Chain A
Amino acid sequence: MKKRFFKIAKLTFMLSLSLIVLTGCSFSSQREKNSKITLNFFNQKPEITAQYQKLARMYHAKHPNVNIQITTSGQGGGAAALQAKFASGEAPDIIMLGGLPEIDRYKDHLINLKDLKASKNIVPNLVSGGISNKRMVGIPVDLEAYGWSYNKAVFAKAGIDASKINNYSEFLKAVEKLNSEKKKIGIDAVFGFNGADTNSIASVSAQFTSLPYNNNLVKAFKSKTFPWKYERQMKNYYDLVKKYNVQPILSVKYDPSVQYLFFNGKVSMIPQGNWIIPTLDGLEKGYVQKNLGMLPFFVKNDGTDRLLTGSSWYLGITKDHPKRQKAAKDFINWMYTSKEAENVIINEMRFVPATKNFDVSRLPDDLSKQIYRIGTSKNAQSPVHKQYPNGFTNQALGPYIQRYFVNGISWKELKKETSAKYRQLREIQSGE
């Protein structure tokens, strides 16, 4: 009897003790939660998710009370996924936005970043790409160069010196030479233009539509008409591609064009920029330094043509969760100003930083160094294809140029249809 009583007493005691311990735990964790912050970061570039996660871990190690949750949605679905986030009331704290049309959709949610430490250091000709209603609401993710990526080994086999190509007729000569020696140098065709992808078509079109805006991306975004000033050059280049490309041009896709055609030297040029660097070096270490060079499009053709340099993506901070704004600002400042974050960005993402006064020698390859110099020079030119109205690239310009590539539409019709669609989309989206 006595024994039993002790047993019960012991049990009750242990139970209550464990209860106390448990409640104690939950109390302390609650207290911790109050000072703990979880930042939601909406990323639209799936290829660098792993590196962003690494940055988030590094930041968390230094600031244990800040957690960064990265949500990635890209390749066409990003814009819709982001809208769903806002519609469901779970607005992310940091959002990656592609161009002013997208920034404009969320302008009422974005805060002014003008006083941010990170903003003061942005390369000047990229600043206007993040401006809405005269407020600086976005800062560029990186510096990208647009032009032709060429395979140095293939050029060398054909005896072509890329540094001697300085105008359109010299470019034409090089293309014809490459074509006539196709068999000898082992290429299938001169160009590996991925005609299946409307995004690449749009970024190439920027070579001919950007100059009239002279780096004023806000003006490009507000423009009610599509600029045809350099249409002659545009047509020349498209006709050239049509003639000397891997056929059928519309079944060439981005991934195979980079990883198979270009990497294996089956084509000499593809219309891509430095975003192909991680892929190429991922296939073979040191490939970029050895084989990758870039050539500009010769549009003005007066010796001043350079690679276009800009940023497709901008980061913004929302004001939906005021408590987390400061942490979000701190994180962005850290990403853009601390050396350790920069090292991940330049060596693992293989980005060219969009910040001024960067020590060029830290960049891991010559092409990145060249791009940084061009992008920070006085005559740097930003491409405007990200300022086209939402849907214009995939629904109008891309399909019309694809049609032109297979002779399904004349240049005159292309111009007419493209202009009409541009105006229509712009009017709908500006709400006028």
Chain B
Amino acid sequence: MLIKKHQYLAFVLPAVFFILLIIVVPFLIGIYYSFTDSNGLRSSFIGWKNFEVLFQDSTFLQSFWLTVKFSFVSVILINLVGLAFALIVTSHNNRLTKSLRTIFFMPNLIGGILLGFIWQFIFTSAFQAIAAAFHLDFFKGWLSNPSTGFWGIVILFVWQMSGYIMLIYISFLNAIPKNTIQAAVLDGAKATQIFFFIKLPQLAPAFTISLFLTLANSFKLYEQNLALTNGGPYRSTEMISMYIYNTAFVNFQQGYAQAAGIILFLCVTIVSFIQLALSRKREG
């Protein structure tokens, strides 16, 4: 009896210990540092000053707003593209759709930094060649102005994440009972009607998971941002994570950067909770 009781603890305690050590403790230390003027080597307590300055810092607000815009656009696009991919590969069961599954998922296997460099080559060199060959101004000077820089990161991120989100949608699409669809077909429903009135409502839990994943990931985006534009041109594509890193390790304002990190944490938490609550309601 005694052994059984302790067996549970023996399994859980090591994991709890490491979570405490690696996540909880640094997190608490981080909260403390957000109230100091730490430069990485020395620090002293300065109260709420970092937060006061932060809300007047135009660069911080700018990169925060950019991140919100980016998250909004990429969450919508990733879910649309991911769902479209899922519908394509589940529509038939043949060799083509099977290989498409692999192809759509492949970008997810490559690391963010590498993807960034690959797309940088595409946007600058390949696009430049297309522009020169066909005299298309649309392909000229990508990543060299704020709007192409922004859309460049969106395209890269959508390309990377859609395959992953596709997997989630596939599993939920396959779980839809076949008989409901057959019944609809017998009643004379068109393909669009089947999609909107039968498949979509049953995909609600898939939306909850996918939205949560894409939202959290796009708020925290860093390495794709670093490899593709590195914040350029003139810091116009510097997202919040990159702003925090640069403030901490380039400017050495680590207490200040920590305060920005806390704000980011609060925002991701609040947004995620709202989103979860809303989609759960719809699911129910």
Q: With contacts defined as CB atoms under 8 Å apart, how many contacts are there between chain A and chain B in the complex?
A: 74
Residue of B59, B143, B246, B249 touching A251 (CB-CB under 8 A): B143
A139 to B140, CA, bound (A): 46
B252 within 8 A of A: yes
Q: Is the CB of A196 within 8 A of B233?
A: yes
Given the interface contacts A87-B40, A251-B141, does A395 sit within 8 Å of B234 by beta carbon? no
| CB of B272 to closest CB in A, whole Å | 29
Given the interface contacts A390-B251, A425-B251, does A431 sit within 8 Å of B42 by beta carbon? yes
Q: Which of A291-299, A343-351, A400-408 contacts B (4 or more CB under 8 A)?
A: A400-408
Interface size class of B (residues with CB under 8 A): 20 to 34
A145 to B142, CA, bound (A): 33
Other A-B contacts than A250-B234, A395-B250, A431-B39, 13 sampled, CB-CB below 8 A, are A79-B249, A86-B41, A196-B233, A248-B140, A248-B141, A250-B145, A250-B233, A391-B251, A394-B246, A395-B246, A395-B251, A402-B232, A428-B256
Q: Is the CB of B249 within 8 A of A406?
A: no
Q: List 8 A-B contacts (CB under 8 A).
A: A79-B250, A83-B40, A196-B144, A389-B251, A395-B235, A395-B250, A428-B253, A431-B42
A208 to B135, CA, bound (A): 40
Q: Is the CB of B250 within 8 A of A406?
A: no
A283 within 8 A of B: no
Interface size class of A (residues with CB under 8 A): 20 to 34
Chain A residue at minimal CB-CB distance from B250: A391
Please provide the chain A residues from 68 to 110 with a CB less than 8 Å away from any CB of chain B in the complex. Answer: 76, 79-80, 83, 86-87, 105
A282 to B253, CA, bound (A): 40
A250 to B235, CA, bound (A): 12
A429 within 8 A of B: yes
Chain B residue at minimal CB-CB distance from A400: B234
B97 within 8 A of A: no
Q: Is the CB of A391 within 8 A of B232?
A: no
Given the interface contacts A87-B40, A400-B234, does A251 sit within 8 Å of B250 by beta carbon? no
B residues neighboring A (CB under 8 Å): 37, 39-42, 59, 124, 140-145, 232-235, 246-247, 249-253, 256
Most buried by B among A79, A247, A248: A248
| A380-404 contact mask (Cβ, 8 Å, vs B): 1 or 0 | 0000000001110011001110110
What residues of B have a CB within 8 angstroms of the CB of A79 in the complex? 249-250, 252
Most buried by A among B41, B59, B124, B247: B41
What residues of B have a CB within 8 angstroms of the CB of A196 in the complex? 144, 232-233
Q: Is the CB of A250 within 8 A of B144?
A: yes
| CB of B64 to closest CB in A, whole Å | 16
Q: Is the CB of A391 within 8 A of B233?
A: no
What residues of A have a CB within 8 angstroms of the CB of B256 in the complex? 428
Q: Is the CB of A80 within 8 A of B253?
A: no
Instruction: State the 4 A-B residue pairs at the shortest beta-carbon distance, nearest first.
Output: A391-B251, A399-B234, A80-B249, A251-B144
| CB of B138 to closest CB in A, whole Å | 14
Given the interface contacts A87-B40, A431-B42, does A390 sit within 8 Å of B250 by beta carbon? yes
What residues of B have a CB within 8 angstroms of the CB of A391 in the complex? 246-247, 250-252
Q: Is the CB of A429 within 8 A of B252?
A: yes
| CB of A424 to closest CB in B, whole Å | 10
Given the interface contacts A196-B232, A394-B246, A394-B250, does A429 sit within 8 Å of B39 by beta carbon? yes
A349 to B243, CA, bound (A): 35
What residues of B have a CB within 8 angstroms of the CB of A83 in the complex? 40-41, 249
A76 to B253, CA, bound (A): 16
What residues of B have a CB within 8 angstroms of the CB of A76 in the complex? 250
A222 to B33, CA, bound (A): 27
What residues of A have a CB within 8 angstroms of the CB of B124 in the complex? 251
A76 to B145, CA, bound (A): 22
Q: Is the CB of A248 within 8 A of B246?
A: no
What residues of B have a CB within 8 angstroms of the CB of A400 in the complex? 234
Q: Is the CB of B233 within 8 A of A406?
A: yes
What residues of B have a CB within 8 angstroms of the CB of A251 in the complex? 124, 141-144
